[in-house]
Structure 1
Amino acid sequence: MKKIFAILLSALALGGCENDGIPYVSLGLDDLYKVARMQTVDLKPAFTGESYRWTVKTASGADSLLSEEKDYIFLMQYPGTYDVTFQIFDPVNPIVHRMTFYVVEEEVEYSPYISTVYEYCPAPGQFVNAMPEYREGDTAETMRQKAEEAIAGKMQSGVSLGAYGGYITFGFDHTVVNVPGEYDIRIDGNSFNSAAHPGVDGGSSEPGIIMLMFDENQNGKPDDKWYEIDKNPWYTDEAATYGYEITYHRPAPDHVPTPGEGNDSALTDMTYIKWEDNRGQTDYVYKNKFHDQDYYPKWIDADEMTFRGTLLPKNAVDVSGNGSYYLQYMFKYGAYADNYPNEAKDENGNYYNGFDIGWAVDPETREPVHLPGVDFIRVYTALNQYCGWIGETSTEIFMARDMHIYVRPDQHQ
């Protein structure tokens, strides 16, 4: 994923050699670098001090603060020449080191769309093993590949994440840059408004929570810390349940179905996949007559699956009063996947299914964090809810794109 090609163009003045009999130790930073836009350079100075400061020259000649941490990852959206200064403040050994970064256009044009699915782990659900389709002998790796084929580029055949907690992890062929004050990424699902309720923000809305990761250790793997998109913390604090955990159990081979009756006659098994959560609740993922395949992921060997995260409140209302018609309302104040129809925009012209990396928070402390960019994205179903014959609420993902990469007219959906 990391096509980093930082190239040393000249030697560091403080080299690992001797000059006039005086030994010098390298600071570990070069003078000149060449790197493609939206790719990173991991800068790790060898010396330490009491404090640090990274700055870059602006067009006016002023110094703009980049970071006050010891290590810094250089990342820029646009080509150009960037003069960066690194300072170590120390009473014994203060250091000032200046570098020039030549940021160039990429050799192979970046795609605005998903390039890689890293993991596909749905919770049980009525579209699991069908979207994408499981075939005998499939493994976690082959199902990952099928999920990638379904949503990478402009494929848009979609994947289902199943009931609460089911997730998918994906990324692009470049780091998505966090542009302050702008929407950075858009994720499409299959949400739609109810034709029977014009003007109402409701219909089929199955929100998924969005998690972000920056490749801090620069190894190209999603093994750093995850952060959660939280557009309006005041809203989430009021509505959500933090630290939610749920465990699903594979049905026993000799399981006997419990069919529904009356208003639940479309349900062929109301004791199908048992679950319990850490709030003392227990129930089942029901099976319905419209989807007769196994709902528990068949490529998973374990007989239990546990998921943890933030739980959003139920958004479905039985407007019929008899279980024949549910309206799933869209959350207005958050930023979730598969919440609003793909082309829906707010009063400012921003896509409801778009989001700003600047909305990221630490999921443990709920404090805002600054990410220079994003390399990995995870979406998981955020509701634990069943809507009669409609089935469980399950987030679906069809496409994602970097909002900063130009899409040619022939690339539009």
Structure 2
Amino acid sequence: MKRILLLSLLAVTLFFSCKKDKDEAFPTLSMQVTEKTLTVQVNTQKSFSVVIPNGKTITSEWKLNNTVVGSEASYVFKPTSAGDYTLTYTGSNAQGSFTFTYQINVPVPVIDPGANSSMYISKVFEYLPAPGQHINMPSLGSLEQAQKLVGSTNNLVSLGGFGGYVIFGFDHSVKNNEGYDLGVYGNPTGPNNASAEHGIVMVSQDKNGNGLPDDEWFELAGSEYAKTTTIKNYEITYTNPKAFVDVPWTDNQGNTGVVKNLSKNKNHYPLFAANQDKITFKGTLLPSTSLSTSGLIINKPFEWGYTDSYSVGDDYQNKGYNSFDISWAVDNNGNKVVLKTIDFVKVYSAQNINAGILGEISTDIKGAVDLHIKALK
């Protein structure tokens, strides 16, 4: 009888205890930051926290773009790159749950031009040419010559065969205004028997705010971008012969060939490249426009959208440079990208052509300008 009474008492106690827990209301939680839409700058901290009533036990969870990033009552958001972020807090216990969501915009850092801003290149970040007849020549294919692009449009630098490139920037962010935004100088010939050595221009934003060109690149799609004769995701690998001979190459299309060493007086492989065995370049391969007429080898220009090209559609004859609109930018999948500003520019040789006695087709560059601040020379 005592055992029955004890069991009955225990059951009643458990019943009322469970009923009390069930009937107890979920505590009222509030957020320290009440605005649901915020702007936070790159590499700056923004603290978020939940206010929990005394004596209440809450399990906390923070998710950033659906990834769990915290389990405390507070969270410090410090974005390392521009973009749009969704930060969600969820607090829960046996009585229920509470959710609060923030939409955070982290804008791309922008350096506005000032009264003393230059229209010319202010810094060359990297120069890595592909093998070519002018590479390793102090006056055309050296690291020292590449640095002479700063503040000038008069010093010629060769980028070598396909893929060879130079990366540079200005002392401010270049704005994507109406019309052309950038001018790039080369040395094409024309208009009669015009000869071009086409280079593709790419642009990038300093989304992580570190002042270095280590963010995503976007191609400025020219007149040939969407044509079936243009090969996307082209790769070519050059092998250093370590001698004054032809430089062999292979590509991802199953082709092989050489960069001709006609002078036999130096190695055409860039001797300042980090890898002195082989080097691989990737990019968009433009079709050959090379032909021979009356014994003269020429390389015909495309209509617009490429540098070192005597383009009719670009009116090179009157301007003396090739013009580029940041609005032409596309991502790796060919999708249009809206960029309000850019901070870095990359120019690379975009054809793989052996021009016989003229050697390889290699893009040359003499400088670049921000077309929106011509008056601030």
Same fold (TM over 0.5): yes
Q: What CA distance in whole angstroms lies between the structure 2 residues aligned with 1:298 and 1:206?
A: 23
| Matches of 1:243 and 1:144, distance apart in 2 | 27
Instruction: Report how far residue 353 of structure 1 moved.
Output: 0.8
Aligned counterpart, 1:238: 228
Which residues of 2 match residues 15-54 of structure 1 at below 5 A?
24-25=32-33
| CA deviation profile, 1:369-401 (whole Å, cap 9, x unmatched) | 111211111011000001111110000010100
Does residue 255 of structure 2 align to residue 281 of structure 1? yes
Q: What residue is the counterpart of 2:164 in the other structure?
A: 166
Matches within 5 A, 1:293-372: 293-300=266-273, 301-320=275-294, 324-332=295-303, 334-340=304-310, 345=315, 353-363=322-332, 365-372=333-340
Could you say which residue in structure 2 is the equivalent of 1:406? 374
Quote the offset at 1:288 in angstroms.
1.8
1:378 match: 346
Number of aligned positions between the proteins: 306
- Post-superposition Cα deviations, 1:221-255, rounded to whole Å, max 9, x if no partner, equal 1111111010447x5332310111111111145x7
Q: What pairs up with 1:71-220 in 2 under 5 angstroms? A: 93=100, 109-130=116-137, 132=139, 143-148=142-147, 150-154=148-152, 156-179=154-177, 181-193=178-190, 197=192, 202-220=193-211
**Deviations 1:34-66 (CA, angstroms, capped at 9, x unpaired):** xxxxxx988887679999xxxxxxxxxxxxxxx
Q: Is the 8 A contact 2:301 2:311 kept in 1?
A: no
1:253-272 alignment runs, 5 A limit: 253=243, 272=246
Instruction: Please give the TM-score of this superposition, normalised by the length of structure 2.
Output: 0.69
Q: Return the alpha-carbon distance in structure 2 between the equivalents of residues 286 and 96 of structure 1.
A: 57
Measure how far apart 1:144 and its partner are.
3.9
Equivalent position amino acid for 1:152 in 2: V
The question of whether the paired residues in 1 share the 8 Å contact of 2:113 and 2:171 is answered with no
- Per the alignment, residue 70 of structure 1 pairs with 84
Could you say if the C-alpha distance between residues 26 and 167 of structure 1 is closer, same or farther in structure 2, counting changes exceeding 3 Å?
A: farther
How far apart, CA to CA, are the structure 1 residues paired with 2:213 and 2:46?
24
State the SS of the aligned residue for 2:357: helix
1:204, 1:392 → 2: CA distance?
13
Code of the aligned partner of 2:149: I
Match for residue 360 of structure 2 among 392, 402, 406: 392
Structure 1 residues 312, 296: CA separation in 2 closer, same or farther (over 3 Å shift)? same
Deviations along 1:102-139, one digit per CA (max 9) or x if unpaired, are x99866510000000000000000111115467xxxxx
Aligned amino acid, residue 325 of structure 2: D
SS in 2 for 1:366: coil
The structure that has the greater radius of gyration is: 2
| 1:23-44 per-position Cα deviation (integer Å, ceiling 9, x unaligned) | 844979999x9xxxxxx98888
Question: Counterpart of 2:283 in 1: which secondary structure?
Answer: strand
CA distance in 1 between counterparts of 2:188 and 2:373 reads: 25
Structure 2: stretches of 5+ with no match in the other structure? 1-29, 49-61, 66-82, 89-97, 105-109
Contact 2:203 2:342 in 1 (8 A): yes
Alpha-carbon contact 2:180-2:371 (below 8 Å) kept: yes
**1:225 and 2:198 correspond:** no
CA deviation vs aligned residue, 1:63-95 (integer Å, no higher than 9, x gap) = xxxxxx636xxxxxxxxxxxxxxxx9xx96588
Distance in 1 between residues matched to 2:232 and 2:286, nearest whole Å? 9
Q: Provide the residue aligned with 1:269 in structure 2.
A: none
In the TM superposition, what whole-angstrom CA distance separates every residue of 1:253-293 from its partner, at most 9, and x where no partner exists? 5x7x5xxxxxxxxxxxxxx111111111111111224x733
Over 3 Å counting, the alpha-carbon distance change for 1:44 and 1:154 in structure 2 is: same
> Under a length normalisation based on structure 1, what TM-score does the superposition of the two structures give?
0.64
Residues 46 and 243 of structure 1: CA distance in aligned 2, closer, same or farther (over 3 Å): farther
Query: Per the alignment, do residues 49 and 297 of structure 1 end up closer, same or farther by CA in structure 2, a change over 3 Å counting?
Result: closer
Aligned AA (1:354): S
Structure 1: segments with no counterpart, 5+ residues? 1-21, 34-39, 52-68, 72-87, 98-102, 135-142, 258-271
Tell me if the contact between 2:150 and 2:367 (Cα under 8 Å) persists in the aligned partners: yes
- Secondary structure in 2 aligned to 1:237? coil
RMSD: 4.0
The structure-2 alpha-carbon separation of the partners of 1:122 and 1:227, relative to structure 1 and needing over 3 Å to count, comes to same
Distance 1:389 1:313 in 2: 20
Kept in 2, the 8 Å contact 1:176–1:374? The answer is yes
Identity of aligned residues (%): 35
CA distance in structure 2 between the partners assigned to 1:207 and 1:367 by the alignment:
23
Stretches (4+) displaced over 3 A: 22-31, 40-51, 91-97, 103-108, 131-134, 143-146, 341-344, 349-352
Q: Matches of 2:171 and 2:118 in 1, distance apart?
A: 7
When residues 50 and 172 of structure 1 are mapped into structure 2, their CA distance, relative to the original with a 3 A threshold, is: closer
